[in-house]
Amino acid sequence: MKDQTYLQSLLDYNAWANDEIYKVVLDMPLEEVTKERKTSLKSIHVSLNHLLVVEKIWLAHMKGEKHSFDNLRTVLHEDLEELRAAHAAMDQEIKDYAAGLSGDDLEEVVDYELISGNKGSLARAMALTHIVTHGNYHRGWIADMMGQAGVKQPQMDIPVYERAARESGTKLP
């Protein structure tokens, strides 16, 4: 896949969806955000940190760099505002990285090793797509935990994003 415009639109959507989830989380009582629930990532707080950790891991894979993570539940930021800022910066870093890739770079297959030790290879375009779909998957978990806390979940579907982008004057492909 060499379609830079398509991948950038997915990454823009991902950053927007992350921001939408943080808007709701930041209005929640902290005890609900950190409350341990019956989910493999334990809480909303750990789940948000997990999203950031995974984005950092995959960016390192794409750059051919090592990452320092040995646990997918690593908490990088206890403070939610700091976590939100770090995640927004990471979303921008990924968008900037992807914007600098040529079509051939997007199709280049990179090797990776997961924390579990499993190894594989994936084209950069698919790794970028994975970041977006992985984010959607876990934002769904977070939305479920919000529902358990009695909080109205944000609507984060692509049509909602596109409507919000058009209403704000954001240029869409």
Segment 128-167, tens digit of pLDDT: 999 999 999 999 999 999 999 999 999 998 999 999 888 9
Domain hosting 32: range is: 4-162
pLDDT at 78 over 70: yes
pLDDT at 169: 84
pLDDT at 4: 86
pLDDT tens-digit readout, 13-62: 999 999 999 999 999 999 999 999 998 899 999 999 999 999 999 999 99
171 in any annotated domain: no
pLDDT at 1: 59
Between these two residues, 173 and 49, which has the higher pLDDT value?
A: 49
Helix (H, G, I), strand (E, B) or coil at 64: coil
E strand or H helix that includes residue 109: strand 109-113
Q: What is the sign of the dihedral through the CA atoms of 67, 73, 74 and 79? A: positive
For 58, 112, 121, 135, the CA distances from 118, given in Å and listed in that order, are 14, 8, 11, 21
33 in any annotated domain: yes
Q: What CATH code is carried by the domain that includes residue 74?
A: 1.20.120.450
pLDDT at 117: 87
Instruction: State the total domains in the chain.
Output: 1
Between these two residues, 2 and 4, which has the higher pLDDT value?
A: 4
Q: Which residue, among 117, 17, 110, 1, has the nearest Cα to 58 in the 3D structure?
A: 110
Q: What is the 3 state secondary structure string of 111-173?
A: EEECCCCCEEEEEHHHHHHHHHHHHHHHHHHHHHHHHHCCCCCCCCCHHHHHHHHHHHCCCCC
53 in any annotated domain: yes
Q: Give me the long-range contacts of 146-149 (CB less than 8 A, separation at least 24).
A: 146/24, 146/25, 146/28, 146/44, 148/37, 149/28, 149/32, 149/35
Question: Which pTM does this prediction carry?
Answer: 0.93
27 in any annotated domain: yes
134 in any annotated domain: yes
89 in any annotated domain: yes
172 in any annotated domain: no
pLDDT at 168 over 90: no
125 in any annotated domain: yes
